[in-house]
Amino acid sequence: MKCDHTGTHSGASRYLREAGELRLVLLCDRCGVERQELGRIEYRPEVILFPGLEPADESALRAEAA
């Protein structure tokens, strides 16, 4: 059945790395389709590295969780 988008909607954000922006969008809760762009916010995350700490090895973390 095709969604008519008359039900509830939720807000979400989409990160556009190349543009350095967050897109604020409205999604249909029933089918997940993006219905409207509400705005954009400049956003470039600032990575802070601490001496002596290395990024986590994701494969090791997955093995520990299993």
Each residue's pLDDT tens digit, 1-59 = 689 999 999 999 999 999 999 999 999 999 999 999 999 999 998 888 777 777 666 56
* pLDDT for residue 28: 96
In a domain, 39, yes or no: yes
Considering the domain boundaries, does residue 32 fall inside one?
yes
30 lies in some domain = yes
CA distance 61 to 54: 14
Residue 51 pLDDT: 78
65 — pLDDT class (breaks 50, 70, 90): low
In a domain, 51, yes or no: no
Question: Which domain covers residue 38, as residue numbers?
Answer: 1-45
The answer to whether residue 56 sits within a structural domain is no
Cα(51)–Cα(61) distance, rounded to whole angstroms? 21
Residue 2 in any domain: the answer is yes
Note the pLDDT of residue 64: 55
Please tell me the total count of domains within the chain.
Answer: 1
